[in-house]
Chains A and B, each alone.
Chain A
């Protein structure tokens, strides 16, 4: 199906190209801009961005106190609330602001890729049973809680310690997993004591659950290798069976953001901050409210990495049950990376609070944060496509730090509203069409299936090409879906 968004014929005013697939909107565009706005996109993607309010929202981000260099929109950028989805901004510490809306409600929503030593062609027979078992083993529906029952003290330790606690104390996973997770699955700034009772209540039984919306688990096949050297470093080969997990911090993270927006909204006057959009509520990083939020956000990030760790354990249980306990059937963690998060990072000797909302960190070769096996290749970056379309593994490039604050896109990016998608796509027909292409779909709701239909999203190949052309990350592998499990 062809996208139906109309592309305007007029060029976007005041936006000039400053590099391959890289554009900059000059500060003269609006008087309140503190820095320019950068956009990574080819001409067609750029024109599509003019169809909603995403560029205006990116310009709003440039007005945040303490912002350094530029605000950046990724090629999958689309309209959100406050920040656009696909927006990145770094604020100077200690007094530049931290804005919960620059991370989003789903704190540390992110992607984890698991690889096996198996080839798809050897597993065609068992795949339907495997997909069905995954659907049965992973709670997705409303009111379904995770199979882990944590005491308050155990939840505190998940929030404070993240995945190392889940692996070493709860016994869900291996130590090797830790080296293949951004930040080792643990942000040291976390403080469970700053997470409200309400946030704990929302999240206490959600560890090991997928959640709804665009969250999914997909069994995939590596269709094509673009970069053999990096693919070897990442342990990927053509025809290989992989599993992609896309979820976040569930209700706990949503409430951490809700609580912080409410609190920061009330101190704007005290801090002398005037906002063009109230959802950009923020406070200086060094203020009590900034520190409370950062510590709670780190705790929610630890919860999200732990959630993907528990889901990994469930996937391993299913693979063990269906394929036997042989070494090649053991899903190994390739990497796990957030796309809704704030991190303290150093650029040009300055410490910045880098907000990534719908953007993936993409550090280049040699970065000390990378596992040693990936030091030469660069950081793995995962770009899930929309349901039924390809996903990509990329490798971060060194130039990403200067081009985009070490950030790449996070997906294909929506181009149709959920309602428009449902008007254009009949869920039951989409299910049939996917099945006809050999893709198994495990999703109870046809309506939700229609909302996430491929036509609702931009062309993921084009989005990824823009990131590569700009020099942020290079393509390593293209993955295609075999089975999709949606919440």
Chain B
């Protein structure tokens, strides 16, 4: 897999994707885009130019928990704000903290409703070209 990409993998009941990033911010951004594709279908549209920019700041136990919390934040905002986020800028990810800016829109139809991100089999691995992870979502 190329850095800065994600790919859905087989899982009997849920949805699993593998994500690659040259950096942790890119890994987190791509994970957010994987979620958006799952919710909206391939090549989801950008939000309108005047869509509100929302700030996200998170602090978690470790980087894996941060990735779970990040995806759960996007999932939870989809319910409360009725938005799917297709413009994602992760400004900073340290071992335990994240700062990001996101913009989204309200689609007519949701392709897949996502309940939550899980820790199942989750490990963020660092390698020569960056980072990768495999995430299971409950759908």
Contacts and interface: CB of A to CB of B under 8 A. Distances in A.
Interface of A: 52, 54, 78-82, 85, 101, 104-106, 141-143, 198, 201-202, 206, 211-213, 251, 254-255, 257-258, 261-262, 265-266, 277-279, 281, 414-420, 444-445, 447-448, 451, 487
A204 B8 CA distance: 32
B127 interface: no
Contacts of B51: none
22 contacts: A52-B12, A79-B14, A81-B121, A81-B138, A82-B118, A82-B120, A105-B138, A142-B113, A198-B80, A201-B79, A202-B79, A206-B79, A211-B113, A213-B112, A251-B76, A251-B79, A262-B65, A416-B12, A417-B10, A417-B12, A418-B139, A420-B10
B94 interface: no
Given A104-B138, A142-B82, A417 B11 contact: yes
A142 B61 contact: no
Given A277-B119, A279-B120, A213 B113 contact: yes
Contact of A141 (B11, B108, B121): B108
A79 B112 CA distance: 19
B41 A279 contact: no
B69 A106 contact: no
Nearest to A81: B120
Contacts of A105: 115-116, 138
Interface in B43-57: none
A278 B139 contact: no
A271 to B, nearest CB: 15
Nearest to B110: A142
B121 to A, nearest CB: 8
Contacts of A254: 75, 79, 115-116, 138
Given A82-B118, A142-B107, A201-B80, A262 B14 contact: no
A255 B75 CA distance: 10
A142 B75 CA distance: 13
Given A81-B138, A141-B108, A447-B41, A106 B12 contact: no
Contact of A418 (B15, B75, B115, B122): B15
Given A202-B80, A265-B65, 17 more contacts: A52-B12, A78-B12, A101-B118, A105-B138, A206-B79, A213-B139, A254-B75, A258-B76, A277-B121, A278-B120, A279-B118, A279-B119, A279-B120, A416-B12, A417-B10, A419-B8, A445-B109
B58 to A, nearest CB: 11
Contacts of A106: 115, 138
A80 to B, nearest CB: 6
A104 B139 CA distance: 11
Contacts of A142: 82, 106-110, 113
